[in-house]
Amino acid sequence: MHKPVVAAVGAYRRYTMNRTLFAAAASVVAIISTSAIAAPPEGKPLSPQTRTNLEAAMHGEAYANLKYLRYADQAEAAGKPALAKLFRASANIEANEHFDREAQALKLGGANSANLEDAMAGEHYENVTMYVNFAKQAEADGDVKVAAMFRQIAVDEGTHYDAYKAALAKLSAR
């Protein structure tokens, strides 16, 4: 190898290592800071706008988590394990730190029966409305493969609905 190439490879390795160390340090700081900042004070209800903002933030964090995991898989497949590690570390923070703190602030979740009913409502909407409409629109736009994918996913959502409904019936029977 020529000296400029060796220097560039070395610089890239140092850059990659520094990015990985930064991500690890950020993870530690985030975990430590989480214990001090979790949920709003008890007794004071959240304003409607704050609730809306928390829900939007949680959607963004969940999307970022899954997107970064996909990027990590692509980096791994391209032979870039350090980059994959960076994406996975960021994905972990998005889900297990940011989303979790926002969910606590929103007081997301409750009794198992209420959680199942909420899950059923979401899956039913996706099964009979959202994906059906998405499929119709995609087909009208000539995106036939995507329309077929939306229809298949709608079926999956119906399966999820049925599973939650069965779990709720079992829970209620006890």
Q: Give the number of domains in the chain.
A: 2
Q: What is the pLDDT of residue 134?
A: 98
If asked whether residues 85 and 139 sit together in one domain, one would say: no
- pTM of this prediction? 0.70
- Give CA separation, 23 vs 20, 60, 69, 82, 158, in Å: 5, 20, 15, 11, 39
User: Domain holding 147: CATH number?
Assistant: 1.20.1260.10
Place of tokens 């220097």: 7
Domain boundary among 79, 108, 137: 108
pLDDT tens digits, one per residue of 16-42: 444 544 444 444 334 434 444 455 556
**Phi then psi dihedrals of residue 17, to 5 deg:** -65, -45
Distance CA 158, CA 124 (A): 6
Which range marks the domain in which residue 142 is found?
113-173
Residue 1 above 90 pLDDT? no
Encoded tokens for 2: 């020529």
> Percent of the chain beyond pLDDT 70?
76
If asked whether residues 71 and 119 sit together in one domain, one would say: no
